[in-house]
Amino acid sequence: MPDPVTIQAATSTSGLLQGEITEIGAAQGTVEIKAQGLHYRELNSRLRDLVQQGVEKVVLHGVMGQRYLGTNLQKQVRVTINGVPGNDLGAFMDGPFIEVLGSAQDGCGNTMNSGTIVIHGSAGDIVGYSMRGGRIFVRDNVGYRVGIHMKEYESVRPIIVIGGTAQHFLGEYMSGGVLIVLASQLGPDECHPTRYVGAGMHGGVIYMRGQIDTTYLGKEVGQASLTAEDEWLLQRHVREYAQYFRADAERLLQGPFVKLVPLTKRPYGRLYAY
C-alpha cells in the first residue's frame, strides 16, 4: 500500500472561479485526489494506476465535468466523488462502488457490467443506458430515457432504484433488468409526470410507487399484479436504497406499486413483415 498522496493539476484548464480545497485529510489506505483542472484522461489513468497498485479507497475532490470516471478499473474498489462527475460516469464499469456526493450528468452507468453507483442528488438523461449488470441508486430525480435498452442474461440482472421520479420514456426499448421508481417526493394525490413509460419495451420489469398517468403509457407495456417474488425484490432493493440515503423504508414499501411488464417479447417483429 503506497503512502497517501495528493495529486494536483499543474494548470487549471478552466481557471476562474473555482473553489479552493484547503484541507485534504489523508486517511490510512485512502488516496485523495484534487481533481480540479485535471483532464478526464489524466484523472482516469491516475485512478487506474492507483487501483493497480492496490489502493482500495479513493476520494476525488472538486470533480467538475470529467467524463467516464470509474471506467476500466476492473476491481471492487471504492470511489467517492465530491462535485459533479461528467457524462458517462461508470461507463463499462466492472466492479467498483462509486458514491457521488452531488448530482450526476447524462449517461451514468452506460453499458455498465457490474458494481454499484450511489448518487446523493439527481442524475440526467439515459441513466443505465444499455446496462448489463450492477446497480444504480439515485436519491432524487432522473431525466429522460432512463434504463433505455437495459438487458439481462440468466442470473445477471441490472437494477436501477430512483428515489424521486423520472422524466419521459422511462425504460424505453428495455429488454431486461429492473427499474424501481419510489416517488418519495410526490404527494398522495400527485401522479408521476412520466410519459411514454416502457415505449418499445420487450423485457425486464418496471415498478412505480404511487400513481401513473395511463393516458401516455407506452403502447408495448401492460400492468400486472405483484407476486411474492416481486415483493421480495422490492423489499431487498428499497431497504438498500433507504440505507444509503437514510430514507424511511417502511413508508416507501407501503406502496402501492404499479408493476409494468412488456406485452410481447418482439413488439416490432411484424413491422416489416407484410
Binding interface with another protein (CB under 8 A): 13-21, 39-40, 61-65, 67, 82-87, 101-103, 105-106, 120-122, 124-125, 140-141, 143-144, 164-165, 167-169, 183, 185-186, 190-193, 215-216
φ, ψ of residue 252 to 5 degrees: the values are: -65, -35
Q: How far is the CB of 163 from another protein (least distance, A)?
A: 11
Q: Among residues 22 and 155, whose Cβ is nearest to another protein?
A: 22
10 Å CB burial of residue 19 (0-12, 13-18, 19+) is exposed
Q: Among residues 133 and 210, whose Cβ is nearest to another protein?
A: 210
Q: How far is the CB of 213 from another protein (least distance, A)?
A: 10
Distance separating alpha carbons of residues 101 and 256, to the nearest angstrom: 30
Length of the chain: 274
Q: Among residues 17 and 273, whose Cβ is nearest to another protein?
A: 17
Buried (b) or exposed (e) across 223-240, using 16+ Cβ within 10 A?
A: eeeeeeebeebbeebbeb
Q: How far is the CB of 59 from another protein (least distance, A)?
A: 11
Distance separating alpha carbons of residues 145 and 181, to the nearest angstrom: 13
Q: Among residues 15 and 271, whose Cβ is nearest to another protein?
A: 15
Tracing cell 485529510 back to the chain, one arrives at: 25
Q: Among residues 19 and 269, whose Cβ is nearest to another protein?
A: 19
Q: How far is the CB of 197 from another protein (least distance, A)?
A: 14
Q: How far is the CB of 133 from another protein (least distance, A)?
A: 26
Q: How far is the CB of 184 from another protein (least distance, A)?
A: 10
Q: Among residues 46 and 67, whose Cβ is nearest to another protein?
A: 67
Q: Among residues 47 and 51, whose Cβ is nearest to another protein?
A: 47
Q: How far is the CB of 36 from another protein (least distance, A)?
A: 9
